[in-house]
Structure 1
């Protein structure tokens, strides 16, 4: 499993079989604003959201992007990982 950016749909995707977890974003003032993430209910508690968040941050870190985390799950994830928290703005 790996996270893929789908810029046309403005979300990152993590496919788990035929099901896809997503993290929606928009770009504003050269920053990525992470708006909302969704993990299908049947995958709740299996670490899929964590894998999605980690993959999103890894891709954005590789691109040198700054992040605003409006998604509560993504913000909590970043707060527990200093290597990602330093990427946050606002």
Structure 2
């Protein structure tokens, strides 16, 4: 499947050790950072370069990151407000989403 943003530009999403990167025109322009914890992938920070704002890149990035999390057999914990908003609108992830407990939040400090 070819990923595109709202302008129709091709988009890539790649995974590194602790983040997913979204790229446009060969450059990384945003990321979703996570921490692995007891079978969970805790998403705690997402950002997209302001110069690329309004193109739907965060939505593409988060959607792909959560789909990959499911494929990896992990559960989602949405600490990041952008990821939490996405999960709140996309109920196909309800079955693998866990709450951000005080213990999880403390583990991120």
TM over 0.5: yes
Larger RCO, structures 1/2 (Cα 8 Å, 6+ apart): 1
The answer for unaligned runs of 5 or more in structure 1 is: none
Q: Alpha-carbon deviation of 1:42?
A: 1.0
Equivalent positions of 1:1-90 (< 5 A) are 1-7=11-17, 10-17=18-25, 18-90=27-99
What's the RMSD between the two structures over aligned residues?
A: 1.1
Contact persistence 2:21–2:28 (CA under 8 A)? no
Greater gyration radius:
2
Divergent runs of 4+, >3 A = none
Task: Return 5+ residue gaps in structure 2 as ranges.
Answer: 1-10, 100-109
- Number of residue-to-residue matches in the alignment: 88
TM-score normalized with structure 2 length: 0.75
Aligned mates of 2:96, 2:53 — CA distance in 1:
27
CA 1:44–1:65 in structure 2 vs 1: closer, same or farther (change >3 Å)?
same
